[in-house]
Structure 1
Amino acid sequence: MSSKDPGRETRPARSDRGGEDGGASPHTLPAAGDKHGWRVRFRARRAAAAQEDLRAESESLAATWRTEILTTLPRGATVCAYVPTETEPGGVRMLDDALAAGLRVLVPVTGAPGPLSWAQYTGSGSLRPARYGLLEPPGPVLAPSAIAGATLILVPAVAVDLRGVRLGRGGGYYDRTLPLAAPGAAMVCVVGDGELVDELPEDPHDVRVGTVLTPRRGVVRIDRH
């Protein structure tokens, strides 16, 4: 797909400002290293999206999740996922579909800064309000090392680039958590079509993902060689 495709951002131009733009605008491309500026841009676009478009996006993502990803996992396998907020791509339907496929689903439990702890997801009806406006299960809390047993990990992202570089929410929780995953675990980001871009800022500690799930392009495998 060409970089002129309206569903994709082009590579940002280099800037002499070094990415320190506290007044980042969603209407201009941020400097190459300005993670905050890129978050502002993508969040503003998603906040401005029509509800019907977000619903259609979620339907498409869930359908591809069921047919192209869940069917590749053996029953009983562990999936580490997350409970998305109302504006994030996907929805709890994806988690419920994983349960229906016979998978064990773990989601994060909010805590102090550091690697994420986990709890078992048993259905959307059991979720309770947690910090930061999130929802989480009430079940026993599992240690951060529980991620090492996951065959597949759904990783939240504001955007992802074609090298597998993920732009997270900025809290650093997943930067501390993903190194604990098993070497062969599949890492998948779920994003909107306009949130898969050519290039994003990358720090040395960033862990790249190998797969991106989008509404229109479906499953995109990242060539990390």
Structure 2
Amino acid sequence: MSALAPPSVPRDVEHLCDLIGRLRAASAPGQRTIVGVVGEPGAGKSTLVEELVEALGTDAAPAPMDGFHLSNKVLDDLGLRVRKGAPETFDAHGFVQLLERLRDQREDVVYAPEFLREHDESIAGRIAITRDTPVVLVEGNYLLLEQPPWLEVRRHLDAVWYLDLDHDERLRRLAERHRSFGRAEEHAWERARTHDQVNAELVRRTRVRADLVVRADGGHGLVPSPG
């Protein structure tokens, strides 16, 4: 893969069709296409995947990395609760095994876990992905990390799209998310600017490994990246 910055495309209502077209063009009869959507915390990855899955209907299913959050009990036992969201707070090996099963397409149905923000916990077997689902969209922060076991993720993905968002808008969204789940405004901003930002900088360094950058403007759509 080239060390140069990956190409960029815009996304709004019109350009969402471009991304859908890319997914359809990459699909072949009887073969599954697995595309990763990566980006810093708060960039809007889940929203983009939801839009794509809604547009593709039964031809697509999500497989979110966040479903592999370690439980709060386990994080407490390990002394990692304060680091929740960092790479070491996920079952990365389990995530890789899920991708292997999705790639093999040997099972009639693969059940993936889903993280429910309102409960701050993952629920096992919440997403059913049938063998004949042609497109799977894998969403998460750490799809392009080069440290083990995360480095095994990339080989199971046909392409990876990096969703980029203006720094200030991304922090605002993160703080709003934290407030919506009960944090006081001061603590919400502190979390966004400290712990979340450490994770964001780690993810940002993987941007060059993406196949495509989709740049968000934080307003009514997406604009081309200057890169």
TM-score normalised to structure 2 length:
0.37
Higher helix share: 2
TM-score normalised to structure 1 length:
0.37
The answer to which structure, 1 or 2, has the higher relative contact order (CA under 8 A, 6+ apart) is 2
